């Protein structure tokens, strides 16, 4: 089954919304509108997590939580200098090397991240690591007063990259991590599920899994499925062992990452269901990264966790790249695991 045009539209709309960690308001408002359209019960908590009850055909013996995070990486404005340039810090794990020359949006105003031009650097400076403190955002302001008319310290800046269809079956855009996961959760809320579950759209994943920690405490699940995007480095000429996963090879399930050792029975269940239902599945090569499972699995007396991820190239940059077929595999595998986990 191919991803339909409605799902494509929803992914594009979600990726276009700006919502860095702690500033997920617009993303949450969009999701609440979709949840209310479905007539489902929802609530939010003090950290802004959106918690939705999804009835199934039965109430499982072991409560199930299914989550994805709303926030994306971005930049926070820390000061405005006398020339009107905006100084900033990263929100989440952004490599400084991907920032210079990028267009950004600050309160709806376009800007460009600038640094000292390469032809003005000494050989030693060119070989040194670049830092965010070496950069500033130019919004075209003549001076500090003019800049402060539209931007204040504490405001967020976002990569400005249009959602783009690549070739026949791939797409590029900002915030695929993890708006694609949010789109999967909305799709699940529209489906008939065997087991009732609690669906959570979490906040502040990119700065330390914070929303997931409080959400898991209040939901108190026995089993949790985390729907994520994960690094694919299959386009860089690396050895097979270092590519992490591959675009076009299906949903990704890992045995372990830097924050979680996943429940072995759930990993085996995912493998069994992928074979039984002919859902493309690949296993994560190596111990890399982390996600909200790192906080969820340690909640209360412990939670059995499984992450089902979408391969994404150029993660945490202005333009991630993913495959519609892989997204469909994530959708189908998540649905199957929910139906068979208890």
Cα 254 to chain center, whole Å? 17
Residue 120 tokens read as: 């003005």
Task: Confirm whether 190 is a catalytic residue.
Answer: no
Q: Which of 24, 205, 206, 228 is catalytic?
A: 205
Residue linked to tokens 């991590």: 177
As a whole number of angstroms, the distance between CA 275 and CA 60 comes to 24
Catalytic residues: 205
């Amino acid at each position: 089954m191919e991803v339909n045009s409605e799902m494509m539209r929803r992914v594009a709309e979600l990726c276009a919304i700006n919502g860095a960690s702690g500033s997920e308001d617009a993303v949450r408002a969009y999701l609440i509108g979709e949840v209310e359209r479905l007539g489902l019960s929802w609530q939010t908590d003090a950290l802004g997590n959106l918690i939705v009850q999804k009835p199934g055909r039965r109430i499982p013996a072991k409560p199930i939580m299914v989550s994805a995070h709303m926030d994306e990486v971005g930049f926070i404005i820390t000061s405005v200098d006398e020339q009107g340039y905006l100084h900033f810090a990263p929100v989440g794990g952004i490599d400084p090397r991907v920032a210079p020359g990028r267009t950004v949006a600050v309160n709806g105003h376009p800007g460009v991240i600038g640094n000292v031009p390469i032809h003005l650097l000494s050989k030693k400076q060119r070989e040194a690591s670049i830092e965010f403190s070496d950069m500033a955002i130019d919004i075209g302001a003549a001076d500090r007063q003019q800049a402060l008319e539209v931007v204040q310290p504490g405001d967020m800046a976002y990569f400005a990259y249009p959602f783009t269809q690549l070739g026949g079956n791939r797409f590029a855009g900002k915030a695929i991590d993890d708006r694609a996961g949010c789109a999967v959760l909305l799709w699940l809320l529209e489906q008939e599920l065997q087991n009732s579950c609690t669906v959570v759209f979490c906040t502040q994943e990119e700065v330390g899994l914070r929303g997931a920690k409080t959400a898991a405490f209040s939901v108190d699940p026995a089993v949790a499925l985390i729907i994520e995007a994960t690094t694919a480095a299959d386009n860089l000429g690396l050895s097979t062992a270092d590519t992490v996963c591959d675009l076009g090879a299906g949903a990704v399930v890992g045995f372990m990452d830097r924050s979680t050792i996943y429940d072995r029975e759930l990993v085996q269940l995912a493998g069994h269901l992928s074979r039984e239902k002919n859902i493309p599945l690949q296993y994560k090569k190596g111990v890399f990264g982390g996600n909200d499972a790192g906080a969820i699995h340690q909640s209360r007396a412990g939670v059995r966790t499984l992450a089902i991820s979408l391969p994404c190239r150029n993660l945490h940059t202005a333009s991630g790249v993913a495959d519609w077929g892989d997204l469909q595999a994530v959708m189908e595998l998540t649905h199957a695991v929910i139906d068979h986990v208890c």
